[in-house]
């Protein structure tokens, strides 16, 4: 009988640190108070779900929001649309810069955590900032990539598999390499097969905003 879970955890901070700032320039930084971007008055009442809206903002060289895309939906199209509409109107940024400190198009990734209206009298909480100007961004929650149901019956022990995922300009997984083994070749191989089959990304972007190939590091923890 299997208990516990198999979790896939990808660290946004790890991705941001994987490329030194002097090599990729600087990502966009909020210019006004993030708490002013989304207000209670913007949100239709009542809120009946508990979930997250993760979004990617395209920031133009003047620091304005050029586009808002939902990376992970809360499950409510209405709430997702409220996020993009409000942030597009109110969020202001210091623009991204290339290595020569010239303003360029950049990308800003963050999220909103929604709570039911009757929970602690709170509707939502703005999450931590994830400014990732040039890296691939998963379209689904990394914690849902691999589940307990995927643990093979033939393997008796779990472990951690660190992988490097190479993402194409179309957002699909082109290759997956295990850079630190889980201790079991079957788990290592299964990790990459499942990621390649299930995961899609918003592609990395170059300094001109064009979709390019990129790398996304992740760690999968298998527990039995």
Contacts of 161 (CB under 8 A, 6+ apart): 178, 180, 181, 182, 187, 188, 191, 219, 220, 222
106 and 30 Cβ atoms separated by less than 8 Å: no
91 and 20 Cβ atoms separated by less than 8 Å: no
| The pair of three-digit structure tokens given for residue 190, joined into one six-digit string | 């299964």
**Could you tell me which of 208, 32, 10, 28 has the C-alpha nearest to residue 133?**
28
- Compute CA 31 distance to the chain's CA centroid, rounded to the nearest angstrom: 22
What string of pLDDT tens digits covers the 224 residues of the chain? 222 333 333 333 333 333 334 445 677 889 999 889 999 889 888 888 888 888 888 899 999 999 998 888 888 999 999 999 999 999 999 998 888 889 988 888 888 888 887 655 567 776 655 544 467 888 877 878 888 899 999 998 889 999 999 999 999 999 999 999 999 999 999 999 999 999 998 888 765 567 889 888 889 999 87
Burial 125-142 (b: 16+ CB within 10 A, else e): eeeebbbbbbbbbbbeeb
Quote the pTM value. Answer: 0.60
């Amino acid at each position: 009988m299997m208990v516990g879970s198999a979790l896939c955890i990808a660290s946004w901070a790890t991705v941001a640190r994987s490329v030194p700032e002097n090599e990729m320039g600087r990502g966009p930084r909020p210019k006004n108070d993030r708490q002013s971007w989304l207000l209670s008055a913007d949100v239709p009442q009542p809120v009946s779900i508990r979930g997250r809206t993760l979004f990617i903002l395209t920031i133009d060289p003047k620091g304005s929001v050029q586009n808002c895309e939902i990376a992970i939906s809360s499950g409510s199209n209405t709430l997702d649309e409220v996020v993009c509409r409000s942030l597009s109107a109110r969020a202001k940024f210091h623009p991204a810069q290339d290595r020569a400190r010239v303003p360029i198009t950049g990308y800003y990734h963050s999220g909103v955590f929604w709570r039911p209206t009757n929970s602690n009298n709170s509707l939502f909480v703005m999450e931590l900032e994830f400014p990732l100007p040039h890296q691939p961004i998963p379209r689904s929650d990394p914690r849902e990539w691999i589940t307990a149901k995927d643990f093979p019956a033939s393997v008796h022990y779990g472990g951690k598999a660190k992988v490097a995922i190479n993402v194409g300009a179309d957002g699909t997984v082109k290759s997956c390499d295990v850079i630190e083994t889980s201790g079991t070749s079957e788990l290592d191989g299964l990790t990459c097969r499942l990621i390649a089959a299930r995961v899609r990304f918003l592609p990395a972007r170059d300094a001109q905003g064009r979709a390019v190939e990129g790398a996304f590091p992740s760690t999968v923890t298998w527990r039995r």
